[in-house]
Amino acid sequence: MSLKHAILGYLSIMPLSGYDLKKAFDTSVQHFWSAHQSQIYRTLYEMTAEGLVEQEVIPREQRLDVKIYHITKAGREELRHWLTTPLPPQDEREPFLIQVFFGSVVNDEETLANLRHERDHIEAQWAFYQELYRSNLERFKTRENKRQNFYTLLTLECGILQGIAYLEWLDDAIARVAAGDYTPKSLTELFPEED
Amino acid sequence: MSLKHAILGYLSIMPLSGYDLKKAFDTSVQHFWSAHQSQIYRTLYEMTAEGLVEQEVIPREQRLDVKIYHITKAGREELRHWLTTPLPPQDEREPFLIQVFFGSVVNDEETLANLRHERDHIEAQWAFYQELYRSNLERFKTRENKRQNFYTLLTLECGILQGIAYLEWLDDAIARVAAGDYTPKSLTELFPEED
DNA sequence: CTGTCCATGTAAGGCGTTACATGATTGT
DNA sequence: ACAATCATGTAACGCCTTACATGGACAG
């Protein structure tokens, strides 16, 4: 369960509340991981039971207590173990590509609309990553923990580069479907020479 | 639920059994969708209750009956509707990138091992897609339904191109981590001029 | 005075995974 | 003779999503 380990990762840097964790997910790893707040609270509860984290309860008058979570020694060990264990192959699930795959069931106009919609969405997302990269770069210049920041930027870079490749494919697909051109790319067109 | 619609997509082309569907998933859309056979059977059962498909039971002596599923009119309408409705934005979940993101928690050697492991896995997968593309190209030349085949090849192309981008990123990341070089890419290095 | 932020959770349901079970046929 | 393939499923669990619920602080 990666969510547990992502939480451990954040808590290994500093203690946080469930709310803080939700914000951290939304603002920094959103491009490759997301979690609902209900999920975070439940997981934190389980992790407390498992001894991976400890609650520090800060009472507040007439409001729900704030609970700050600290990583335990066992938590650090678990995190280290997970970070050094190769993951089993993941199953992809991309519903959009199912729509494309069965594009021949509907009119090309309709598939085109889907492709354009996806394109707009990906482009907006890409612009957002670009902004994130920019702001993280700034921080890199001034901050101490270069190594931590480097890995943050590296994952963002991955998202950005894959976004570019995806956008290129989308543009090309849109052009071809719009032209009613069903000739597929040849192997030499598709694969770089080095192969 | 995309699984239902992927099943409807296949059944819109020809009637199939649960077993056939499992094979179809494994051999043609495996790169962007996978399903366990238990999941397929359960879903087929639900879809029968919903009137999206109909069972044709073919009894066999001393063996379990074969159940061939046919798409109904309601099923076709549902499929068409789904294929022409833009999908809500999907949440990504890539545990591997969490490992990279928290790479600073462990030694670079350990992160390097992860990166190399991923690289090997992706390369093998990429080679498999390449083979799939090759064989589908052959079929394209001889077969009737060019339009259907085109969309199949298009989704494969997507997987292949994204694979290339991902591999390039992995190679670059491996080189940089191996060299202990934590300088991030500048914006101009990362973004194409057109931007 | 309305909305957003802070901060916590519960409940129910949907989807996916893993393990188990059966048994004939076909290939090596 | 043994394994793989064909072909069907059940059971149980686990994770993720959606909706609901509470309530103070603070900004426009």
Give the containing element (helix H, strand E) for A154: helix A146-178
Chain B positions in Cβ-Cβ contact with residue A134 (cut-off 8 Å): 187
- Return the pLDDT at A89: 87
Angle between helices A73-83 and A2-13 (to 10 degrees): 120
Mutate to test the interface with B, among A7, A26, A31, A99 (most CBs of B within 10 A): A99
Give residue-wise pLDDT tens across range B94-140. 999 999 999 999 999 999 999 999 999 999 999 988 988 998 888 77
β strands within A89-183, DSSP E = none
C-alpha A132: how far from chain center: 13
DSSP A44-67: HHHHHHTTSEEEEEEEETTEEEEE
Using an 8 Å Cβ cutoff, are A25 and A33 in contact?
A: yes
Q: How far is B58 from chain A, CA to nearest CA, in Å? A: 28
Q: Which amino acid is at B183?
A: T
Using an 8 Å Cβ cutoff, are A169 and B161 in contact?
A: yes
pTM flag (> 0.75): yes
From CA A191, how far away is CA A180, in angstroms rounded?
Answer: 23
pLDDT at A61 over 80: no
pLDDT tier at A44 (50, 70, 90 boundaries)? very high
Beta bridge partners of A16: A69
Among candidates A20, A12, A126, which has minimal Cα distance to A72? A12
- Protein-covered nucleotides of chain C (CB closer than 7 Å) are 6-12, 14-20, 22-25
If you search the block for the tokens 């509340």, which residue do you land on? A17
Interchain CB contact of B149 with A (< 8 Å):
yes
Give residue-wise pLDDT tens across range A16-32. 999 999 999 998 888 89
| Mean pLDDT score, B45-55 | 94
- Return the pLDDT at B143: 67
Partner-chain contact A114 B86, CB within 8 Å: yes
CA dihedral B24, B26, B28, B34 (to 10 degrees): 100
| Mean pLDDT score, A29-37 | 91
Using an 8 Å Cβ cutoff, are A48 and A56 in contact?
A: no
- Return the pLDDT at A146: 87
Give residue-wise pLDDT tens across range A113-169. 999 999 999 999 999 889 889 988 887 777 678 899 999 999 999 999 999 999 999
Structure tokens at B92: 């990504």
> Is the pLDDT higher at B142 or at A179?
A179
From CA B16, how far away is CA B69, in angstroms rounded?
Answer: 5
Share above pLDDT 70 across residues of chain B, in percent, rounded to a whole number: 97
Residue A144, phi then psi, degrees to nearest 5: -75, -65
Task: State the sign of the Cα–Cα–Cα–Cα dihedral A116, A118, A121, A123.
Answer: negative
Longest dimension (CA), chain A: 70
Average pLDDT of chain B to the nearest whole number:
92
Give residue-wise pLDDT tens across range B149-177. 999 999 999 999 999 999 999 999 999 99
pLDDT tier at B191 (50, 70, 90 boundaries)? confident
Give residue-wise pLDDT tens across range B6-24. 999 999 999 999 999 999 9
pLDDT tier at B193 (50, 70, 90 boundaries)? low
Give residue-wise pLDDT tens across range A65-111. 899 999 999 999 999 999 999 999 888 899 999 999 999 999 999 99
Chain A positions in Cβ-Cβ contact with residue B153 (cut-off 8 Å): 184-185
How crowded is the C-beta side of B9, counted as CA atoms within 13 Å? Answer: 27
